[in-house]
Structure formats: C-alpha cells, structure tokens
Amino acid sequence: MRWSWFNLLLSLVLMTAGRVAHSQSFEIPMRLEAQRGDNLCWAATSAAVVEKMLPLDNDAREILGAPVEQFRLAALGMAGITKPGGGSRGFDTRKSSFEGVLPQCEEDISDCDLPGQPLLFGLTFKLRGSDKSLSPEELKSEIVDFKRPVLMTIIYTSKQDCVTTEAHPTADRSAPTADKHALIIFGYKEVGARKRVKVKIWNPLAPDARKRRSIPPSAQLGTWTNYADYVNPSIYTRCAARNADAYEIKVATRNSVVPIWPMPPSASSAPLNDSYQIKVATKNVVPIPPPASSRPLNKVNFTVARRAFEARKEQLLSQYIADSSTDVAAPARVSFGEPFPIVAPTLDELLEARADPARVLTESTSGLVVPVLQYGKVVDSFLLVNNDGDWKVGGLSSLEVDRVLVELRTKYPAPSGHPDQQSDSFYMVAIPEASAFFAARGLGRNAQLMSVNDGGMSPRPGDKLLGQVITRVEAGIARYRAPKASL
C-alpha cells in the first residue's frame, strides 16, 4: 500500500514539475538604456545589442567604448557610417568626420538626435523582412538556445485602422522625425496547456530619457507580449507594421556580409527636397498583410471602455496570474489599477491641428492601459484594445511610462468639487512617434496635461503642451532636411 501511495505522489510531483517547466520563462541579461533623444531608438537598441554580443577585446571597442554609449553611435550615424562591416572595416575613410562630431554628440546628444537605422557595429546578422515574421521556433532558438537578442524595427502608419495593408504613411508631407521605431526581443516563454508563446519586448521609449541611466540585469524591464503582437504590432493603439528583424547576430569577421536594412519613409537615403513626399520611399518595401481575423480598432467613449474592462476584470486577472506565475512573486497579491483610456493622435492629425491643438483631445478611445499592481506598486502593465467590440489584450507599451502615469494621477488629484475629481477621469495622451506621453484630464480647450518627462510635471493647459510637441516635430523635420554642412 505504501508503494502505491508513494508512486501516486511521485507521479503527481513529476506532472506538476512538467507543468511548471512549460511555463518557465527565459530572459537574456542585457544592459538597457532608454533612448536619449526623440529619434534615438535605433542608437539605444543598437548599443544594448552590441554591448551584449561584442567581446571586450574586439577592435571595434576602440571606437564604441566599453560600455557602448549612444552618443558614439549617434556620432557614427552623423558621420555617415551606416554599414559597419566586420570590425572597423570601412571606418578609416570617415574617421575624421566621426572624430569631428563626437565631442558635439557627447556634450549635447540632442545636437545629434536624428533618425537612423540600427547600427550593429562590429557584428553581422541576418534580416527577416516585413513579408515574413520569425516563427515561434526561430525565436525560441535565438533567445533560449543561442542567447541572442532579436532587434525588431517597425513603421508607424498614419491611419487609425489597424487592418490596413499599407505599411507606411502616404500623406503628402515632409519627412517625419520618427515614423519608425526599434525594439529588442530578449525573452521567451510558453504558457498554459496549449503552450501559448509570449515574448518579452523592451521598448526604449521612457520618461526622463535624456537623464536615465542604464538598467542592471537584476532590474530588467520589458513587457511580456503575445506572439501575435510581435507579428502585427501597435504601440498604445497607434498602428504599425513590421519593417525588419535582425537575428542570428554574431561577431563579424573580415569576410562577413552585412545586410542592408529596408529603408522606411524617413530613412536618410530618401530625397530631401521641397517636393519630397513620403510615398516616394515606400515602393521598395513590402507591406505585411493583416491576418484574416483582424478587425478595425473601433473608438468608443471612455465610459464604454471602462465598462468593458470591468466586465472582463476577473477573467483577465485570473489569466494574468496563470501566465505570470513564474515571473511575479506571490501572484495572489497581484491586482489591477484603474485603467487609462488612450488618446493617440497621429502626427498627421497633430500637424493639421497646429492652429488649435486641443481639438485632438476628445473622449474617444480604442484602448486602455491597465496598470498591474503588487503591494501597491506598479510591476507591469498591458493594453486592452477594442477590435470591433471584442476587447482583447494586445499591443506594445512602456512600463516606465505607465508607472509615471499612475504616479501623476496620485500626485495631482483634481481639486475638490471639480468635475474631473474622480480618479477615473484621467486618461493618457500617447504620441509615440514624438516620444511624447501625458496623463490628462478634461477635454478640448479645458484639458489639463501632465508630461511624464522629468519624473512627471504639474498640470498645464493641454493646447500649450501639444503646441510644444508640434513645434518640436516641425523643428525635427527642419533639422532632418537641413544640409549636413558640419560633415
């Protein structure tokens, strides 16, 4: 009889161990640093990947330093070094330009805050274009087996309809400061009996970006994201399309062939003249078609969105705890905070509203930011988006941004008796292309916005803050189009 009970107990232990193993996650320890300029996502992600993959004794370290700093990559970009090859090959011909602009970039990196392509100096890699994503098996092989991160690039669309097959904006306007964005995939896990695949994606967008120091491996950031949101990405409901992924990243040799990144609309090779149109640069890029099951992201008022969340709250919490049981200590202590409706105007909409910026601040949203709390602190967040009335978890966000949103809601409650006094009157304004994020209350010209930058700013008139964003975007366009006389 003892043996029967013992065998049964052993079987249960083994079965439990098997289930735990299936939900265990793997992350690559990396040195991560938020982008230090509105357009420097390419430099932030490149610095993190190169720092991880390039040995300290590699010749390229003489140029990049140890650790790799964003200002050095920005200087390489300013010097026109966009295809590094093996080691420092091809560097000597532009060395004087690099050395000339390096002190300027180090002293004030905003002077070198220009769009660019990821620059994996000293490394070689393969590129997977927009027509085909990496499979779950390929991602698992890269991250778990070979411990190599994947550098992912996306392109924002100018449309709010996420089922469009257009991968790029087609508005007839000057090159934007940031129609593209770079991220890093550095984690992989399979959850549940069906082994649903999730990947951990680090978004370099962050508040306080110009002052933020690197994040040690023990305090790793990033968001666990459904595999489907990697294939068809969006950031805070702003629709996007995959551009290309760099994978099989290795140290380059003298004979290494370094692929050329597909050129998005604001790429430096695009024609810079008064008649420039974004359409010109789209013809050589293959758009990724949406999945057949995709439906439009419908906009509803804030009350309807919050009611949809409340109706699914318990189910979402149970699913979150089940998916995160190996990542979050004491998952039973996890709860959800009050969600933020997302208002995410496109750059087109902002530029068209330059005379009256507040007109984009309407009570209309297609998604919510849901903070995840543990012991009262924000430990995670996720997006809940409205696919034609079917509210689902999906999309990419920035945990650092979402943490500051919650802090601002607590720090700056509406005055007593104010119509926006309730905590649920707050919403989020997200303009990821311009690295601009705000907590907000009130609508239109009555809106008060609180910037997440510098750890959070006090409420100010929304039209003035959005006017500053528009001015910054237009200045970035002018700087982007200006002749590079210094080189």
Q: What digits encode the pLDDT tens for the residues 316-347?
A: 998 888 877 555 545 558 899 999 999 998 88
* 3-class SS string, 235-250: ECCEEEEEEEEEEEEE
Q: What per-residue confidence (pLDDT) applies to 61?
A: 87
Other CB atoms within 10 A of residue 352 CB:
16
Closest by alpha carbon to 116, among 64, 59, 61, 45?
A: 45
What are the DSSP E strand ranges found in 193-332?
196-202, 223-226, 234-235, 238-251
Structural domain spans, the chain: 25-282, 302-476
Q: What is the pLDDT of residues 76-109, one digit of tens each?
A: 888 877 655 444 445 555 677 888 889 999 998 8
Please tell me the total number of residues recorded for the chain in this structure: 487
Q: How would you class 213 by CB atoms within 10 Å of its CB: exposed for 0-12, middle for 13-18, buried for 19 or more? A: exposed
Tokens of residue 87, six digits: 């080691």
Confidence of residue 297 (pLDDT cuts 50, 70, 90): low
pLDDT in tens, 219-232: 457 888 889 888 88
Question: pLDDT band for position 157 (50/70/90)?
Answer: low
Top-confidence residue, 290 or 162: 162
Spatial separation of the C-alpha atoms in residues 112 and 109, rounded to whole Å: 5
- Please spell the DSSP secondary structure of 372-416, one letter per residue: EEETTEEEEEEEEEEETTEEEE--B--HHHHHHHHHHHHHSPPPT
Whole-angstrom distance, CA of residue 169 vs CA of residue 350:
14
Quick: pLDDT tens for 394-418: 888 888 888 889 999 888 876 655 5
Angle at which helix 41-53 crosses helix 70-78, to 10 degrees, equals 120
The pTM of the full predicted model, rounded to 2 decimals, is 0.75
Average pLDDT over residues 17-32: 67
Number of alpha helices (DSSP H) and beta strands (DSSP E) in the chain = 11, 17
Q: Cβ distance 351 to 473 under 8 Å?
A: yes
The mean of the pLDDT values for the chain is 75
CA pair distance 364, 299, nearest whole angstrom: 6
Start-to-end Cα distance in the chain: 85
Write out pLDDT tens, residues 116-145.
Answer: 889 998 899 999 987 789 999 999 999 999
